[in-house]
Amino acid sequence: MQTGLSLEFKGLKVIQFLFAIIPTLCETAMAATIAITFLGFKLETALMLGFATSGVNLGVTIPNMSELHNLGFGRRSGIAYILIAASVI
């Protein structure tokens, strides 16, 4: 099992931040909006639900990105590193 110890962050901090924070916040906002509108949740509960469900895709993203990286895809641009690091945040 790989743990992401081979990640390299040379000059990718802003891109990593944007790839990590913006999709998570958008997914959380949509889940919270749906929970408030259709389920009648309070704002705090809806946000907890949104943040909890936005982290579910880690089991899918990390193994696939590691496999693509091992096959040589995205090594020059570092996109596999960015996506793995962004999904962990």
- Give the model confidence (pLDDT) of 3-59 as tens digits: 555 555 566 667 767 777 787 888 899 999 999 999 999 999 999 988 888 765 666
What is the reported pLDDT for 1?
Answer: 45
Residue 5 included in any domain? no
- Residue span of the structural domain in which 72 resides: 13-88
User: DSSP H helical segments within 10-75, as ranges?
Assistant: 13-39, 43-54, 58-70
User: 3-class DSSP state for residue 71?
Assistant: coil
Residue 21 included in any domain? yes
Residue 40 included in any domain? yes
CB within 8 Å of 35: residues ≥ 6 apart: 41, 45, 46, 49, 50
The number of beta carbons lying within 10 Å of the beta carbon of residue 53 is 15
Residue 1 included in any domain? no
CB within 8 Å of 36: residues ≥ 6 apart: 42, 43, 46
Is residue 65 within 8 A of residue 88, CB to CB? The reply is no
Residue 6 included in any domain? no
Residue 77 included in any domain? yes
Residue 26 included in any domain? yes
Work out how many domains the chain is built from and give that number: 1
